[in-house]
Structure 1
Amino acid sequence: MAEIRIRNTNERISGEQNVKAFLDKQEVLYEHWDAAKLPEAIQEKFILSDEEKAQILSTFNQEITDLAERRGYKTWDIIALSDATPNLDELLKKFEQVHTHTEDEVRAITAGKGIFIIKGTDDVGYFDVELEAGDVISVPERKPHFFTLMDNRQIVAVRLFIETEGWIAHPFEDPSFQKA
């Protein structure tokens, strides 16, 4: 289950209902899918063939279709990152810049762990959403954020898009943001 850390106070929020309630107030969608539905052979696999990616999409077809219909997403894919990913460190540097998009940024984690750093309301400031397999999050368009890996540096996620060419990051300069 996802866990939240509010950066200003170091307060932690855990438990699915508490996380969902907090994220609802921040206008961030949070849901949970059953990651155990995946065949065991790919539950903790981070280098995937095209066939294995298709198998993940097929396994979660109902959940993806439901979310897409509710939120207007038109296309989706799989992203798999690990130390075996070419140029991973350069990729992460690109990800680890606060930015916005003109559409939601959606991740449904199917394996591994990742973290969204999101700018909340003025009274909350920046907060981290630590995600693991089964967690689904949608950061609304124009909400400053970035996504990166956690210490294990392994993740597989379904990404959903409205624009068929995928999202484009728009840098967000914020002098109040401090890296953890």
Structure 2
Amino acid sequence: MAVIKVRNTKEVIEGHDNVLSFLEKQGVLYEHWDMSKLPEGLREKFDLNDQEKEEILSTFKEDIEELAGRRGYKTWDVITLSDATPNLDELLKKFENVHVHTEDEVRAIAAGHGIFIIKGDEQTGYFDVELEAGDVISVPEGNPHFFTLMEDRKVVAVRLFIETEGWVAHPYQEKDEVNQ
């Protein structure tokens, strides 16, 4: 289950209902998919070939298509990041800049962990959403955020997009405040 850490108050939010309620108030979609249907051999594998990525997509086909139908997503893929990923540190630098998108940024964590740092409403400020296998999040279009890995530096995620060219980030500059 996801855990939320509000940066300006140090509040920690845990438990499915509490996390769901907090994120709904911030306009962020949160769901949890059943990871028990993922084949055992893929649950902790972070260096995937194309066939294994397709197996993940096939395993979650119904979940993906249901979410895509509700939210208008047209394409999806699997991304994997770990110490086995070429140029991982350079990739993380790209992800770790606060940015926005012209569509939702959607991730369904299939294995490992990751953190979305999201700008909330004026009162909340930035908050971290620590995600684990089964967690599904959709950061709304235009909402400043960035993504990074947790200490284990391993994640496998299904990404869903509206635009067929996929992930396009646009830099975001804070107005008179520190973003981290």
Q: How high is the TM-score relative to the length of structure 2?
A: 0.98
Aligned equivalents of 1:43, 1:176: Cα separation in 2: 40
Once the two structures are overlaid, the 10-residue window that deviates more, 35-44 or 19-28, is 35-44
Tell me whether 1:89 sits opposite 2:72 in the alignment. no
Following superposition, the deviation at residue 168 of structure 1 comes to 1.0
Following superposition, the deviation at residue 82 of structure 1 comes to 0.1
Q: Determine helix, strand or coil for the equivalent of 1:89.
A: helix
Aligned equivalents of 2:68, 2:57: Cα separation in 1: 13
Partners of 1:46 and 1:156 within 8 A in 2: yes
Partners of 1:103 and 1:167 within 8 A in 2: no
Task: Report the equivalent of 1:168.
Answer: 168
Aligned equivalents of 1:33, 1:4: Cα separation in 2: 18
Q: Determine helix, strand or coil for the equivalent of 1:102.
A: coil
CA RMSD of aligned residues (A): 0.7
Please tell me the residue identity of whatever aligns with 2:11. Answer: E
Following superposition, the deviation at residue 5 of structure 1 comes to 0.1
Aligned equivalents of 1:137, 1:33: Cα separation in 2: 11
Tell me whether 1:41 sits opposite 2:41 in the alignment. yes
Partners of 1:126 and 1:177 within 8 A in 2: no
Task: Report the equivalent of 1:117.
Answer: 117
Aligned equivalents of 1:38, 1:158: Cα separation in 2: 13
Runs of 4+ in 1 over 3 A off after TM superposition: none
Task: Report the equivalent of 1:66.
Answer: 66
Aligned equivalents of 1:49, 1:166: Cα separation in 2: 20
Tell me whether 1:15 sits opposite 2:15 in the alignment. yes
Aligned residues: 179
Aligned equivalents of 1:132, 1:150: Cα separation in 2: 10
Aligned equivalents of 1:149, 1:167: Cα separation in 2: 18
Please tell me the residue identity of whatever aligns with 1:93. Answer: K
Give the share of equivalent positions with the same residue, in percent: 70
Q: Determine helix, strand or coil for the equivalent of 1:113.
A: strand
Post-superposition CA distance 1:7-60 (Å, at most 9, x none): 001100000010000000000000000112110011000000111000000000
Please tell me the residue identity of whatever aligns with 1:116. Answer: F
Aligned equivalents of 1:38, 1:13: Cα separation in 2: 27
Please tell me the residue identity of whatever aligns with 2:126. Answer: Y
Following superposition, the deviation at residue 178 of structure 1 comes to 4.0
Q: Determine helix, strand or coil for the equivalent of 1:58.
A: helix
Tell me whether 1:55 sits opposite 2:35 in the alignment. no
Unaligned runs of 5+ in 1: none
Partners of 1:109 and 1:158 within 8 A in 2: yes
Following superposition, the deviation at residue 177 of structure 1 comes to 3.2
Task: Report the equivalent of 2:76.
Answer: 76
Post-superposition CA distance 1:124-177 (Å, at most 9, x none): 000000000000000000000001101100000000000000131110011523
Q: Determine helix, strand or coil for the equivalent of 1:137.
A: strand
Following superposition, the deviation at residue 106 of structure 1 comes to 0.2
